[in-house]
Structure 1
């Protein structure tokens, strides 16, 4: 059988540049300003409107250095920083796709990914500039196409300097570039879990297996719209059964600890894109470190964290787990890998006020998540107390489970999960064979992962 999401559908609207979806909606224009990003260690902060203005100047500056839609791809090689959102949002505005490069991979791995993505420019953090320069030299890319951001290197132009120059000269700001349904927004190298080869590094521990055949996933502006609408529709659905009390935070909005790396889909969407779609503040840490995470929790009292199981393990096994005050955390989530039940139990025991703990399943091929644990009060609570459940289909997702012989599985019967949605990407970058194997002609995506689902829609 086929399963469809229990949530209301996502409105099918003409495709817009995702930058405009974030910044030009009437609801956004009318909302009060708020702190969007805080650099955790330094305390530097930037508000939503300041982000919008800085992105506009950054886009004008990037247009000025010659970046062309349909011709260029920008490789981004950096730890998390407060300038990371500025760079990717400016590129989205220009409709110049970017390639997310793992900041903690080896030089050989990064070089392979730059080659596969055919990046024509590279923006690197100051710490990784020399690595980017060596890779560019190996690829024959001119050194003047390598820029820094989130820090300075003597003699090298930085994103901040490009923005300052625009603000001094005050040229006309470039408008958002119009996009179509299949206009690519970014290129990500999927981590995958089982089945079809989808890549070979995860968000923390890179490990290349078959580098020369590693497919990069193309995600479009339209995919980003569907993914960005998912949490909005979930929040609207929740609001019909539960109205949360006012948050005891400095601005009365959620605060999230952005701990996952921005070069990974989970980190970028939860720490940047989805955060800007609904008011919230992200505390950015450059790189995961369990002691730094505890320091940031103490300093900023976040209300939410979405992290991966390896991070959860480091937290609950740290000596600080028993002594730190985690009472301000109200919701937590885990994704990108399997979370063992014993880890979940220990985590929830140490976070007494977490009223909503969610697990997500997704993949870069469908932009981000396809399945998520529902809020406890939704759907008459019938999905509560199911310890073996991953979750239910998110808005806009249709799914089927297929037996090995290609026929549809019955409820409760395991098989390969396949999904269909506006979030399903365009395919693998310049890899027709891999695209044909995973992205089927009728719109279904083969995940390569085995699931079962009951008649209620619990996966």
Structure 2
């Protein structure tokens, strides 16, 4: 374990000296100047350079080395609440004791050795975290499976990863009951609520009473930063999901990257790291995304363990329940994908609840419409939003935009954190100058090893330390990143590139639009034309003609949709909140 840990991170730290939202101080120092000051020798965010898979790479000198280090640090938070779920409240000390008990069970009775895979398939229950940290400190590679998957998809994840043990909730265990015997997987059922499927055991009964938290101890399994730690399956829209193989360094460094990203804005506005850290209050995060995605696990669960923050869990996403929890638990931050923030802020119930505890709104995972910034200013005056960019393959955070940086450039996802390099290239791999759109490449200690048992896919996406994201982006002169769209979702109309995110952002500016998605409509001559699926706000109505006229004043005529679909129900999304455009196309276009 390192002597010092970079743990302070919060929207309020980034906003520390930014003050009133909407006011950008004059004569701000440049991003490079801020980075040099924050990463200087002896500073909290000092960097080192190591060789990772043959590539010299900058790393955080003061980051925890492994998930074991993070769990040990979390123990010091004692009786403070770590996980809140309905009537259950699990303190850091209790969580540590339960994770330690599960780790000892794995290495003892179940004979799990370092490198064996342990899978988790359940909703966001507190037991998810117990199983995750327990398996990690036992030396296992943790395999979080998508709880929304069908039995066949879950079976695929278990077989593909070669998991020896599965921790599932009752719903997932029942779904898998018919296939588990053939897989040879030991199954533990959390929150069984009754009889468990044949061959399974009840998680709570097997783990047992962990006893006095002060007496808890972890099994003696040595871990290295480059040891395999996790396999998160990507939410690809075509073909089988790929298992993203991450290391302990990947996931343990992410909280420090998040801290740097948030605090660098405050330093740029005139604060110091020490002042911002001292001013930061303990975070209470309303988790609106699943643990089985990088945002929920890396940036919320693991970061909160390191910081001593509380994570408030929901059975499923619901806007009114979210508002109730914000009021009851004095939540300081929430977000998820931009659409979730938008739903809360535009809810007709918003004014019925006390949201004064909120110090910020953070979001990522999809492009955010600039109109969201205006809505945050309206509903949460003097709170400055933040967003970030990252992927499963980059262990969550790559860039972050907060505080004065966000006020200055709200349509950007921010500059890369100090340990990351980014560049934009054309199809031939030639690096493009600022302002030009191409594929975004990422390099840093957050980039995973590759895809589990997929050497060809790994060789294609990971080259010389650079991850080829598949996202279309541009950089400005100061290194701020602007995500234009996913390459596969870009429309080409008669040879003209149309980026869905641009049209969607313009649609969001219309006061009657609650949610939207832009898809391509086949055309015999042009190849594709623009179509838009629109969900109006409750009680609002809008016509095709009105939207087309509205958009015609904001974007070029060839980008204006030629066809609209209006629907009252929400748009189909994956568990991470991203719109399933493939499903929309199938539903609407056949």
TM-score surpassing 0.5? yes
Partner of 2:43: none
The structure 1 residue matched to 2:271, chosen from 215, 238, 241, is 241
Q: Which has the higher contact order (CA 8 A, sep 6+)?
A: 1
Q: CA deviation at 1:16?
A: 7.1
For residues 335-362 of structure 1, what are the alpha-carbon distances to aligned partners after superposition, in whole Å with 9 as ceiling and x for unaligned?
11122223443244222342x3111111
Q: CA deviation at 1:453?
A: 0.8
Q: Matched residues in 2 for 1:368 and 1:245: separation?
A: 22
Q: Does the CA contact (< 8 Å) of 1:58 and 1:159 recur in 2?
A: no
The structure 1 residue matched to 2:474, chosen from 431, 446, 452, is 452
* Structure 2 CA distance for partners of 1:318 and 1:106, relative to 1, 3 Å: farther
Partner of 1:35: 81
Partner of 1:146: 187
Alignment of 1:219-368 (within 5 A): 219-234=246-261, 237=264, 238=266, 241=271, 243=275, 253-354=282-383, 356-368=384-396
* Structure 2 CA distance for partners of 1:330 and 1:416, relative to 1, 3 Å: same
Partner of 1:195: none
Partner of 2:534: none
Q: Does the CA contact (< 8 Å) of 2:75 and 2:96 recur in 1?
A: no
Length-normalised TM-score, structure 2: 0.65
Partner of 1:22: 70
Q: CA deviation at 1:273?
A: 0.2
Partner of 1:210: 239
For residues 60-107 of structure 1, what are the alpha-carbon distances to aligned partners after superposition, in whole Å with 9 as ceiling and x for unaligned?
122233242346312211000112111100011011012111112233
* Structure 2 CA distance for partners of 1:131 and 1:344, relative to 1, 3 Å: farther
Partner secondary structure for residue 385 of structure 2: strand
Q: Does the CA contact (< 8 Å) of 2:78 and 2:92 recur in 1?
A: no
* Structure 2 CA distance for partners of 1:384 and 1:342, relative to 1, 3 Å: closer
Q: CA deviation at 1:30?
A: 6.1
Q: CA deviation at 1:166?
A: 6.1
Partner of 2:565: none
The structure 1 residue matched to 2:201, chosen from 157, 162, 167, is 157
* Structure 2 CA distance for partners of 1:15 and 1:247, relative to 1, 3 Å: closer
Q: Matched residues in 2 for 1:85 and 1:29: separation?
A: 14
Matched, 1:433 2:460: no
Partner secondary structure for residue 392 of structure 1: coil
Partner of 1:196: none
Q: Does the CA contact (< 8 Å) of 1:70 and 1:96 recur in 2?
A: yes
User: Tell me, which stretches of 5 or more residues in structure 1 are unaligned?
Assistant: 192-198, 201-208
Matched, 1:63 2:99: no
Q: CA deviation at 1:17?
A: 6.0
Partner secondary structure for residue 340 of structure 2: helix
Q: Matched residues in 2 for 1:244 and 1:303: separation?
A: 16
Q: CA deviation at 1:261?
A: 0.8
Partner secondary structure for residue 319 of structure 1: coil
The structure 2 residue matched to 1:405, chosen from 428, 448, 454, is 428
For residues 140-163 of structure 1, what are the alpha-carbon distances to aligned partners after superposition, in whole Å with 9 as ceiling and x for unaligned?
335xx1111244442542332223
Task: Tell me which moved more, 397-406 or 114-123.
Answer: 114-123
The structure 2 residue matched to 1:443, chosen from 453, 458, 465, is 465
Alignment of 1:102-117 (within 5 A): 102-117=146-161
Length-normalised TM-score, structure 1: 0.83
Q: Does the CA contact (< 8 Å) of 2:255 and 2:299 recur in 1?
A: no
Q: Matched residues in 1 for 2:96 and 2:192: separation?
A: 20
Alignment of 1:119-138 (within 5 A): 119-137=163-181
* Structure 2 CA distance for partners of 1:102 and 1:371, relative to 1, 3 Å: same
Give the number of equivalent residue pairs: 422
Q: Matched residues in 2 for 1:14 and 1:153: separation?
A: 46
Q: Matched residues in 2 for 1:230 and 1:452: separation?
A: 22
- How large is the RMSD of aligned CA atoms in angstroms? 3.0
Partner secondary structure for residue 333 of structure 1: strand
Q: Matched residues in 1 for 2:141 and 2:407: separation?
A: 41
Q: CA deviation at 1:210?
A: 1.2
Q: Does the CA contact (< 8 Å) of 2:107 and 2:219 recur in 1?
A: no
* Structure 2 CA distance for partners of 1:451 and 1:241, relative to 1, 3 Å: same
Q: CA deviation at 1:390?
A: 1.8
Q: CA deviation at 1:439?
A: 0.8
* Structure 2 CA distance for partners of 1:244 and 1:225, relative to 1, 3 Å: closer
Q: Does the CA contact (< 8 Å) of 2:99 and 2:134 recur in 1?
A: yes
Q: Does the CA contact (< 8 Å) of 1:424 and 1:445 recur in 2?
A: yes
Partner secondary structure for residue 388 of structure 1: coil
* Structure 2 CA distance for partners of 1:16 and 1:353, relative to 1, 3 Å: closer
Which of the pair has more CA radius of gyration? 2
Q: Does the CA contact (< 8 Å) of 1:148 and 1:157 recur in 2?
A: yes
Task: Tell me which moved more, 337-346 or 227-236.
Answer: 227-236
User: Tell me, which stretches of 5 or more residues in structure 2 are unaligned?
Assistant: 1-30, 40-45, 49-58, 482-590
Q: Does the CA contact (< 8 Å) of 1:80 and 1:286 recur in 2?
A: yes
* Structure 2 CA distance for partners of 1:280 and 1:112, relative to 1, 3 Å: same
Partner of 1:203: none
Partner secondary structure for residue 423 of structure 2: strand
